[in-house]
Amino acid sequence: MFQRGGVLIQKWGRSSAASTAVSIVDAMKSLVTPTPEGDWFSSGVYTTGNPYGIAEGIVFSMPCRSKGDGDYELVKDVIFDEYLLKRITKTEAELLAEKRCVAHLTGEGIAFCDLPEDTMLPGEM
């Protein structure tokens, strides 16, 4: 656990804290700045009622627009090519597997962790 930051830097070449901070600032800017007409930004949002068929009950990156009031709306007409659809499906499966791993913590039943080892860092599991 104490070496996780170092392992992340070694694996991805950047600090997880710095990239997280930049991502948070970018997300806030996207919500408080009106999205230009015809443009959109990606943001991790709850999947409830999404137009893309992603399983409900997880947080997933979706195309969004904002009027600059701090709120967002989902962009419903983005068309993804076959490559992106495969990546989206794989990511959705990984997130659902992670959710099953913590089901006992969220009150959703008994945890069952079937994550592939290549998604974990040394010492996790």
Average pLDDT over residues 17-38: 91
Residue 105's domain spans which residues?
A: 80-115
Asked if 60 and 73 touch (Cβ cutoff 8 Å), the reply is: no
Residue 96 lies inside a defined structural domain of this protein: yes
Asked if 44 and 60 touch (Cβ cutoff 8 Å), the reply is: yes
Residue 6 lies inside a defined structural domain of this protein: no
Residue 2 lies inside a defined structural domain of this protein: no
Q: How many angstroms separate the CA atoms of 108 and 21, rounded?
A: 30
pLDDT for 51-62, tens place per residue? 999 999 999 999
Q: What is the pTM of this model?
A: 0.73
**Structural domain count, the chain:** 1
pLDDT given for residue 56 in this prediction: 95
Q: How many angstroms separate the CA atoms of 68 and 72, rounded?
A: 8
- Pull the structure tokens for residue 118: 């290549």
Average pLDDT over residues 87-93: 95
pLDDT band at 14 (very low <50, low <70, confident <90, very high): low
Q: How many angstroms separate the CA atoms of 59 and 43, rounded?
A: 9
Residue 90 lies inside a defined structural domain of this protein: yes
Other Cβ atoms closer than 10 A to 92: 17
Residue 47 lies inside a defined structural domain of this protein: no
Q: Is the pLDDT of residue 101 over 60?
A: yes
